[in-house]
Structure 1
């Protein structure tokens, strides 16, 4: 037993006497061997990245004259001239906005009364009815904006001057933005 024990003691002493190999010392030669494997084992002939004959475009292209283009006409039905139609749509939006503005004080009163009310209570239901009335007036303004959008799209497709349509749309969009802000403010009160 003693012989076996002394052999182990000698092995431990030898192991302690040998310098420890740290990771860096071990990994550097390993990385060099891996890089050497990537280095030039090929023939040095790689495929060219130049355009091949099959990839070349052949033929000639003639530009089409704009007179020859067959752009389909977008049909927009309205009576009267474009200016008359724009005036009618802006007038429709402004009238609906007047109805909206007239209904706001009552809706504000009902929304304030429903501020702390429970969902389903009479005050909450009354506020919801008032907000629905405002939504109805706003939808009339939005309908006019939708018609203006159709006119704008039709004019743009036909490459016509749409500046008058844009001006009318700008007026109606401003009304819609005012109404949206009012509705958002009142809905926040009811919640």
Structure 2
């Protein structure tokens, strides 16, 4: 494009833009209008009610056997966790210091997922024990046997959490 054509175009644009910046004219006020003022009280209406179904927890006959079954399930999952743990420690040790995405890192992630799975299976009975505990407390029942079972499962899950945390810290 020739130089005089560019100059003409730029001059025309400058004149047109200058016309847009004039100070003449009536502009609306930015003051708060009457309709924008808050007056009165706002009614939020009736709060929504959640329909929470009742949780049926049987605290009568068979509680001891149920507690035993829940603890046994957690201990079985913990035994699986302990079975996988030596292989996990070996693979994580090999992967320590390796780059993310390497074969050793990927192998360590897979075995950590196996440990997570076993830990999750140990935590499921804990949820049932918590429901039993809450129901017993609400019903003002004795919770000593439930407490003992919960404490045992909490200890197992806590041990597994510590192992997983330690292993993950080695490959970050």
TM-score bucket of the superposed structures, by smaller chain: 0.5 to 0.7
User: Any stretches of 5+ residues in structure 2 without a counterpart?
Assistant: 1-53
Equivalent position SS for 1:127: helix
- 2:59–2:136 CA contact under 8 A, matched in 1: no
Task: Name the SS for the 2:113 alignment partner.
Answer: helix
Identify the match of residue 147 of structure 1 among 128, 136, 145: 128
Q: What are the residue-to-residue correspondences of 1:121-136 with 2, within 5 Å? A: 121-136=102-117
Q: Does 1:106 align with 2:87?
A: yes
- Which residues of 2 match residues 159-170 of structure 1 at below 5 A? 159-170=140-151
Secondary structure of the structure 1 residue equivalent to 2:146: helix
Aligned length: 119
| 2:140 is equivalent to residue 156 of structure 1 | no
Greater than 6 Å deviation, 4+ residue runs? none
CA distance in 2, matches of 1:108, 1:177: 18
Structure 1 position 116, deviation (Å): 1.0
Residue 138, structure 1, aligned to residue 119, structure 2: yes
Q: CA RMSD in A?
A: 1.8
User: SS where residue 141 of structure 2 aligns?
Assistant: coil
- Distance across 1 between alignment mates of 2:153 and 2:87: 24
* Structure 1, gaps ≥5 residues long: 1-72
Cα 1:75–1:173 change in 2 (3 A) is: same
Structure number with greater Rg is 1
Alignment-derived partner of residue 73 in structure 2: 92
Inter-CA distance 136–79: structure 2 relative to 1 (3 Å threshold) = farther
The separation in 2 between residues aligned to 1:78 and 1:165, in whole angstroms, is 10
Deviation at 1:76, TM superposition (A): 1.5
Would the aligned equivalents of 1:78 and 1:85 in 2 still touch at CA under 8 Å?
Answer: no
Q: Deviations over 1:55-93 (max 9, x none)?
A: xxxxxxxxxxxxxxxxxx852159960001000000000
Q: Find the aligned partners of 1:87 and 1:171 in 2 and give their Cα distance.
A: 11
Is the contact between residue 79 and residue 85 of structure 1 (CA under 8 Å) also seen in structure 2? no
C-alpha spacing 1:79/1:163, structure 2 compared with 1 (3 Å): closer
